[in-house]
């Protein structure tokens, strides 16, 4: 909507709003409702060219002056959406990389030798095992 409104504003240049045809006027009105959604009258109330021009005339400034703010809002929304998608993708990739949870490897309470499959253990389990071995060697 903003891109179409920018193109219309460029096409019109300094011409008055009255120079717009019906489709252009409808586009300008729709853009105003996107840029400033808190309008008191519904869009459908501007069904004639005179009503549409009256609506645009009541804005206080030309409708095209709303373009920079609308563009900035669109860019901010797009950036936030892209960041949210990237965060969701990263979270999904992290969850997928974890794989299925393996059963924990239990060390015997004594200092006897035990067969431990380190390849089947996660890094966290390997760290816990190392800490347990250190504790056992220290006599804790």
Question: How confident is the model at residue 105, as a pLDDT?
Answer: 63
Helix axes 2-12, 67-98, angle to 10 degrees: 150
Residue 112 has pLDDT above 70, yes or no: no
pLDDT for residue 26 = 85
Cα Rg, the chain, nearest whole Å: 32
Domain boundaries, the chain: 1-99, 101-140
Return all residues near 121 (Cβ < 8 A) that are at least 6 apart: 102, 105, 129
Q: How many helices (H) and strands (E) does the chain have?
A: 5, 0
pLDDT recorded at residue 106: 64
C-alpha angle 41/32/60, rounded to 5°?
A: 85
Query: How far is the C-alpha of 140 from the C-alpha of 129, rounded, in Å?
Result: 14
Of residues 84 and 119, more confidently modeled:
84
Helices (H), the chain: 2-12, 22-35, 49-57, 67-98, 123-138
CA distances from 76 to 26, 70, 80 (A): 26, 10, 6
Question: Which tokens hold the place of 77?
Answer: 């929304």
The answer for residues whose C-beta is within 8 angstroms of residue 74's C-beta and 6 or more apart is 2
- The mean of the pLDDT values for the chain is 79
Q: In the predicted model, is pLDDT for residue 137 greater than 70? A: yes
């Amino acid at each position: 909507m903003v891109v179409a409104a920018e193109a219309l504003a460029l096409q019109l240049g300094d011409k008055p709003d009255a120079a717009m045809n019906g489709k252009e006027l409808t586009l300008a009105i729709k853009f105003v409702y996107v840029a400033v959604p808190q309008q008191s009258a519904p869009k459908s109330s501007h069904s004639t060219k005179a009503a549409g021009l009256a609506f645009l005339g009541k804005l206080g400034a030309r409708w095209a002056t709303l373009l920079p703010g609308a563009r900035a809002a669109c860019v901010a929304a797009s950036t936030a959406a892209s960041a949210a998608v990237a965060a969701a993708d990263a979270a999904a990739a992290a969850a997928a990389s974890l794989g299925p949870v393996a059963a924990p490897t239990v060390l015997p309470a004594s200092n006897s030798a035990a067969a431990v499959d380190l390849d089947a253990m996660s890094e966290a389990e390997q760290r816990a095992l190392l800490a347990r071995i250190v504790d056992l060697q220290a006599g804790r």
